[in-house]
Amino acid sequence: MIMKGKKGVILGIANKKSIAYGIAKACQEQGAEMAITFLNERFEQKLAPIAEDLGCGTRLYPCDVSRPEEIKALRDALEKDFGQIDFIVHSIAFAPKEGLSGRFMDISKEAFDVAMDISVYSLIEITRELKPILSNTSSVLTLSYYGGEKYIPNYNLMGVAKAALEMTVKYLAEDLGRDGIRVNAVSAGPIKTLAAAGIGDFSFMLKWNAAHAPLKKNVTIAEVGNSGMYLLSDLSSAVTGEIHYVDGGYNIMGMPAVEFDENGKPHIAWNGESK
């Protein structure tokens, strides 16, 4: 088993539709032991059966990344239960509702600060605080999206946050490489998750991606999970600072696929059907 003997922590599972859950499940199936975190009491109740499903037992810890004391408490709990750990999955992002609709220039400074703190700085803080218990062959993984590279309607503030997150991955990778620690990101295609529900016209994004990705489909959390597991495992021991796309190839496209009728009028092709 690829992850046998590996121990780690997954931050950001909301439910079984979460990308983080897909990664955790893939790691468990390959022999990893792990702990998971919850944001607040409401999520603790929801995640208890998921922790059981993932074989975490009682290793379900509170961690609101806006509270530095909870990150420190997480480190202490992990050290007590595992000693050292071999991987961290950072699947945490947040932007106030105003940052995911309307005109981009109308976003408030308060909303901007919150999005950058929770979605970006938390990766730096978590990595720094947990570094003393990271093994010298460990891997840190975070989650991004193509909206951090190109304009995506309604992604707005989260697109800027993901752009900052991707550069944070690169700078952390260089900084921690001397310690044997790798840092990467998975840039997944659109998936129906709790976080995605806050993005306007998300159902259209799903249709568009499926129509124009070379594989002509949307990805699943299991597919993203397997790619995440690879980046956490020793199979990727020489890979760091990478943004690994798992989006059916959508990111390579420079022009949407179209069909033309007998009069030469173009129609966007939706999975082979002109609409």
pLDDT digits (tens, 9 = 90+) for 124-167: 999 999 999 999 999 999 999 999 999 988 899 999 999 999 99
DSSP 250: G
Look at residue 87 in the predicted model and tell me its pLDDT. Answer: 98
Candidates 21, 61, 155, 245; catalytic one: 155
Structure tokens at 174: 């260089």
Q: Give the tens place of pLDDT for each residue, 7-34.
A: 999 999 999 999 999 999 999 999 999 9
Q: Please say if 145 is a catalytic residue.
A: yes
Confidence of residue 262 (pLDDT cuts 50, 70, 90): confident
Tens of pLDDT, residues 56-82: 989 999 999 999 999 999 999 999 999
| Phi then psi dihedrals of residue 202, to 5 deg | -65, -35
Is 205 or 257 the better-scoring residue by pLDDT?
Answer: 205
Residue 274 confidence (pLDDT):
41
Q: What percent of the chain clears pLDDT 70, i.e. is strictly above it? A: 92
Secondary structure class of 223 (helix, strand, coil): helix
Please report, for residues 10, 111, 119, 235, 274, the alpha-carbon distance to residue 91 in angstroms, rounded to integers and kept in the order given: 8, 20, 9, 21, 37
- pLDDT above 50 for 229: yes
Weakest-pLDDT range from 46-50, 188-192, 202-206 = 202-206
CB 228 within 8 A of CB 25: no
Token pair belonging to 82: 């595992």
The pLDDT score that the predictor gives to residue 64 is: 97
Fold of 7-274: Rossmann fold (3.40.50)
Q: Work out the pLDDT band at 202, boundaries 50, 70, 90.
A: confident
- Who's near 191: CB < 8 A, 6+ residues apart? 17, 19, 218, 219, 220, 221, 224
pLDDT band at 181 (very low <50, low <70, confident <90, very high): very high
Question: Which of residues 230 and 264 earns the better pLDDT score?
Answer: 230
- Using left for φ > 0, alpha for ψ between -120 and 50, and beta otherwise, residue 5 falls in left
pLDDT classification of 273: cutoffs 50, 70, 90: very low
Catalytic one among 21, 145, 230, 245? 145
pLDDT band of residue 203 (cuts 50, 70, 90) is: confident
pLDDT value, residue 207: 86
Count of CB atoms situated within 10 Å of the CB of 199: 21
pLDDT averaged over the chain?
92
Task: Label the pairing between strands 7-11 and 134-144.
Answer: unpaired
Q: Clarify whether 21 is annotated catalytic.
A: no
Distance CA 68, CA 176 (A): 21
Task: Indicate the domain borders of the chain.
Answer: 7-274
pLDDT value for 275 = 40
**Spatial separation of the C-alpha atoms in residues 116 and 158, rounded to whole Å:** 9
Distances (CA, A) of 82 to 85, 105, 135, 203: 6, 46, 11, 41
Residue 201's contacts (CB-CB under 8 Å, 6 or more residues apart) are 153, 154
